[in-house]
Structure 1
């Protein structure tokens, strides 16, 4: 029997408002937008911090649910590519029982006529997880339901490779600090190349986030990475899908 969610049935509204921005995830091998990450913003486009700093522990569940619903419903209005994925950040500690807590998201997808199979849920390793077994159960459940799962900020948090081995997400996003000026750092290039090999062996998709320059992109493309996100391609669009630059300039001969 599924445990009861503390926030289920709680009609109390959050005491603050928020909206969404969308940043493209680009597949450079196919010269197309692979999907978009939904990012929380203030009601006038203020930073995510301006919203999250108002959040209390008691509001985690409600905020997590409301943010998912808003991301899905807004994507349903904006997306015109039926294959584009929507990546939604979630808080593992705000999920009490995965199958119960996903219902509002599924209902929102149905209302918005957004394919539930195009949803990807990503979480970060930047904060220590209070219950890794619980997170493992969430990932396993989401994958069984047909969603993609992603580990964000890989290489910047507490667990690293041990967490990757335990959770086996569909996708990992390499932390931008490891990628910054990678064309100038041989140690970074070696690490990323090794990580690309690990991802291939585990059948995990690799995404480079925070890419800001053509030099970074060229070096990462040479390592075999095909999914990218960052200001080089587009800044997040507030309640909109931004124009994407640079897709036609990539030399596909650099692929391994």
Structure 2
């Protein structure tokens, strides 16, 4: 959600056949099915987003598993084919990688992000501040967007340490010319505190709950 009361992006979330959460689904993902799972999620996300006309008012944000991408120029073909088949403009797609997946080969991740950007996709670092790589990746990677994890956002209106950390992160990301998203915003006080720090894009239950195969109702604060 943007500060101008518009939806910047809709994030595609993994759910099971009976609407089980992502944690339950990822328990069944392993080395043998990771690539197939990653590709299937991309196609399903694009297909549903096209059906809901997401591209007419916002971006579509898709999480990807870096360790499932063996060659970016080959693995992206399924995505490009799906975008063409379902008439979804590729320039309206954001690919996010999460810090919660340990990256074995950072050079390989750099090549993935660079290739995706060359194809016209936006790229994002998800869950910044909670995972394995942190500041190290900021020096090596060149994503368009960084999403500050809920661990730094929770109760930030009452937490001076978190305020200092996030305020300095905002200055850092601005200097790196990155868009900033605050994740996990759940209260009005958190929202206004982050606004005062100069953050303009937000995500969290305060604005909307995830919805199943539909667009959520938005609380504009």
TM-score interval (norm. to shorter) = over 0.9
Per the alignment, residue 90 of structure 1 pairs with: 64
Distance, in Å, in 1 between the alignment partners of 2:34 and 2:11 is 20
Q: Which has the larger radius of gyration?
A: 1
Q: Distance between the aligned counterparts of 1:155 and 1:178, measured in 2?
A: 7
Q: Write 1 or 2 for the structure with the bigger share of strand.
A: 1
Equivalent in 79, 84, 93 of residue 53 of structure 2: 79
Aligned with 2:79 (options 101, 105, 108): 105
Moved more, 135-144 or 46-55: 46-55
CA RMSD of aligned residues (A): 1.1
Match of 1:136, SS state, is helix
Query: Which consecutive segments of 4 or more residues in structure 1 shift more than 3 A?
Result: none
- Among 31, 35, 55, the alignment partner of 1:61 is 35
Give unmatched runs, 5+ long, in structure 2: none
Identify unmatched segments of 5+ residues in structure 1.
Answer: 1-25, 250-256
Q: Is it true that 1:27 corresponds to 2:24 in the alignment?
A: no
Q: What TM-score, normalized to structure 2?
A: 0.97
- Superposed displacement of residue 80, structure 1: 4.8
Deviates more, 1:158-167 or 1:60-69: 158-167
Residue aligning to 2:201? 227
Which protein has greater RCO, CA pairs closer than 8 Å, 6+ apart?
1
Deviations 1:140-174 (A, max 9, x none): 11111111111111011122112112102100110
